[in-house]
Amino acid sequence: MIKLTGIHKTFGKHEVLKGIDLEVAKGEVVAILGPSGSGKTTLLRCINYLEKPGEGEIRIGDFAFDAKRPGKKEIHELRQRSAMVFQQYNLFAHKTALENVIEGLVVVRRISKEEALKRGVELLEKVGLGFKLDAYPSQLSGGQQQRVGIARALAMEPEVLLLDEPTSALDPELVGEVLAVIRKIAREGITMIIVTHEIGFAQDVASHVVFMDGGVVVEEGKPSELFTHPKEERTKQFLKRITPELSYSI
């Protein structure tokens, strides 16, 4: 349903993505892990065209985007089919929770304000924020802001939801509420690519795990295999660093 083929991205002389191939079936949840600087955020941003991929093809559903021929129409189409949840929430500070959620519906999708408000309220209720419709981001906790971010992304009814370390900016006591919301929407069958280092969560929700390092996919597989029997040395070292309580045979 989503197929990335040979995605390359270079910043100046620094080749950050060195030909990424990835396939995600409809309704599947893929977790991406990897050390800082390995290119995880850049990859998600390429799928949403927040970064311009240098080379490669991005296929979402029946639409194929060739990085060599990026027309305005193609970029718009790509953005319609994916939506991003950011590490730092990226909400509009001067808009309420509800206004943040409906912004894209009104401005990009051009649906009526009345219909947008109805959908916005439903989505905020879904993420447990029906009581915070008129709150501004500064009046919300980090976990609540991130749940607004998730509702905003869902509002666009994307074919794939991209989440970039959605809980890493949160205080530990707020992580659970956001993971619970993500778990709930994952179970509803939305296709998802999530960068996360929450191993327990990935084991529980992801059907496939991808380990990236240095701009390449080093290893991928089922969570039950990759987390318990990593094959590659780099994967073992990384997992050992982030889950020192687990021991991997090296």
Instruction: Give the footprint of Mg ion on this chain (CB under 5 A).
Output: 41
149 belongs to the binding site for ligand ATP (CB under 6 A): no
Tell the smallest beta-carbon distance from residue 22 to Mg ion (Å).
16
Cβ atoms of 205 and 186 within 8 Å: the answer is yes
Q: At residue 28, what are phi and psi to the nearest 5 degrees?
A: -85, 150
16 binds, among Mg ion, ligand ATP, none (CB under 5 to 8 A by kind): ligand ATP
Burial class (CB in 10 A: 0-12, 13-18, 19+), 247: exposed
Residues in CB range of 246: below 8 A, 6 or more apart: 227, 239, 240
Number of Cβ within a 10 Å radius of residue 20? 23
53 binds ligand ATP (CB under 6 A): no
Binding partner of residue 34 among Mg ion, ligand ATP, none, CB under 5 to 8 Å per kind? Answer: ligand ATP
First CA to last CA distance, the chain: 36
- Residue 38, interface with ligand ATP (CB under 6 A)? yes
Q: Does 11 bind ligand ATP (CB under 6 A)?
A: yes
Partner whose binding site includes residue 208, from Mg ion, ligand ATP, none (CB under 5 to 8 Å by kind): none
Q: Which does 167 bind (CB under 5 to 8 A by kind): ligand ATP, Mg ion, none?
A: none
Closer by beta carbon to ligand ATP, 142 or else 214: 214
Candidate residues 2, 31, 41, 179; the one interacting with ligand ATP per rule CB under 6 A: 41
Number of H helices, E strands in the chain: 9, 10
Between 73 and 241, CB nearer to ligand ATP? 241
C-alpha span between 144 and 147 (Å, rounded):
5
Chain residues binding ligand ATP by CB under 6 A are 11, 16, 34, 36-42
